[in-house]
């Protein structure tokens, strides 16, 4: 898949024509989308709307699953797990809290999940002075 630039209009506060509530959220979203596109994420206007609502707190991660039409337990996510303790026995995908067994669907949901954390860190940076401070990011 070739990288295709998306329209980010900072003057009007939109990404692909979808309005964001403020410039900070638009910048967080644009930065994350750009990074994710290099890893295969394909933005659509619907996904941008979902992302805006997720960053704004209007929807939760579990809501994204239904909005994207992802069904639980539907493969470069394959892992060696002889006891099947950590992976789905049919697909080999890592078990997860949303019970998504499709690798592409899981990748999409993980994108949205990481976006909110990135936005929080952008708005409230955690100073890292030593290795013990690193745990603060996960809190």
Rounded average pLDDT over 81-100: 79
Strand intervals (E) in 1-139: 8-9, 14-15, 18-19
Token pair of 70, please? 């992802």
pLDDT for the residue numbered 135? 67
Check: CB of residue 87 under 8 Å from CB of residue 114.
no
Burial of 83 (0-12, 13-18, 19+ CB in 10 A): exposed
User: What is the pLDDT at residue 91?
Assistant: 81
For 2-34, what is each residue's pLDDT tens digit? 667 899 999 999 999 999 999 988 988 898 888
- Of the two residues 13 and 115, the one the predictor is more confident about is 13
- pLDDT classification of 62: cutoffs 50, 70, 90: confident
Check: CB of residue 79 under 8 Å from CB of residue 70.
no
In this prediction the pTM is: 0.62
- The pLDDT-based confidence of 73 (bands split at 50, 70, 90) is very low
Q: Residue 75 pLDDT > 50, yes or no?
A: no
Mean pLDDT confidence for 58-77: 68
């Amino acid at each position: 898949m070739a990288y295709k630039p998306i329209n980010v209009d900072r003057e009007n506060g939109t990404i692909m024509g979808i309005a964001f509530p403020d410039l900070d959220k638009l910048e967080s979203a644009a930065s994350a989308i750009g990074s994710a596109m290099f890893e295969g994420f394909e933005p659509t206007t619907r996904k941008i709307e979902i992302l805006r609502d997720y960053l704004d707190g209007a929807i939760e991660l579990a809501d994204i699953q239904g909005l994207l039409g992802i069904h639980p337990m539907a493969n470069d996510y394959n892992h060696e797990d002889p006891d099947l303790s950590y992976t789905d026995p049919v697909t080999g995908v890592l078990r997860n809290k949303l019970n998504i067994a499709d690798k592409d669907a899981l990748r999409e949901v993980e994108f949205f999940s990481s976006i909110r954390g990135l936005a929080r860190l952008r708005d409230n940076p955690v100073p890292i002075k030593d290795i013990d401070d690193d745990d603060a990011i996960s809190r």
